[in-house]
Amino acid sequence: MNATTAGWLNKVPEVTVSFWVIKIMSTTVGETFADFLAVDVGLGAAVTTIGMVTLLAIALFGQVRTRAYTPWTYWLTVVLVSIVGTQITDVLTDLLDVSLYTSTAVFSVLLATLFLVWYRVEHTLSIHEVVTPRREWFYWAAVLCTFALGTAAGDLATEALGLGFTLGAVIFGALIAATFAAWRMGGNAVLTFWIGYILTRPFGASLGDLLTQAKTYGGLGMGATWTSAIFLCVILILVVVAQTNVSNRKHITQ
């Protein structure tokens, strides 16, 4: 008996406008909340990373144990993955002095290798078929890698290459729009999804920096505290709506 016939359902939500809004906001929160804990609270990069990794492990355990998509569990895991992915790159850059060029290249190769292994083992990379524990572990490993890669690529573009936060957000936003257009014109749905998923991370990071950084550094000066709080509230509202919809559908089918 396979996992599907044993009662497993797809563990990833439908790809709707709400999905992308929450995803982009969670990437921004990954940037701003990590900075809030490490800098504003004063925990430092190492302590913040250890604490967030622990919370992520707990959230992942709960997520994998569910047998169907549960919005609050899924999106809590995404937010924590976003924070941990950000911290992985920040630790490499700030504490270990790894070049952003190097980390971007390494995470690119790592993600490509992960996709290759995932496809060789499961014969699909579709998020509409995450119906077994093994596929789900592949999925979350890929998601974590996209966040780490997106953070490195975003920092490389806005800082090392000097594009700045505004131009960086515009460029990555334009690339996302181009990916969407390619999908609408008949591009491969799986490929365009993962390209868009990767690009939302540097877009969210650039947006987060634009909102939080002081005006003297090219930002809007909102600060990490307010930006994190506002975005988390919006995410919470959208997740509550999604959870309510899922609960209503279950009630109707019973």
pLDDT above 70: residue 240 = yes
pLDDT grade for 63, boundaries at 50, 70 and 90:
very high
**Separation CA 157–CA 238 (nearest Å):** 30
Amino acid in position 146:
T
Mean pLDDT of 23-52: 83
DSSP state of 114: H
HSE on the CB side for 167, CA within 13 Å? 10
Q: Which of 73-82, 140-149, 177-186, 207-216 has the lowest mean pLDDT?
A: 207-216
Task: Specify the pLDDT at position 8.
Answer: 54
Longest CA pairwise span in the chain (Å): 61
pLDDT grade for 125, boundaries at 50, 70 and 90:
very high
pLDDT above 60: residue 5 = no
Encoding tokens for residue 246? 């899922």
Encoding tokens for residue 6? 């044993």
DSSP 3-state of 213: coil
**Separation CA 18–CA 13 (nearest Å):** 10
pLDDT above 50: residue 7 = no
* Residue of higher predicted confidence among 57 and 129: 57
pLDDT grade for 252, boundaries at 50, 70 and 90:
low
pLDDT above 60: residue 116 = yes
**Separation CA 181–CA 186 (nearest Å):** 9
pLDDT grade for 4, boundaries at 50, 70 and 90:
very low
Mean pLDDT of 117-137: 92
pLDDT averaged over every residue in the chain: 87
Taking the domains of the chain in order of start, what are their residue ranges? 17-245
pLDDT grade for 254, boundaries at 50, 70 and 90:
low
DSSP state of 16: -
Amino acid in position 163:
L
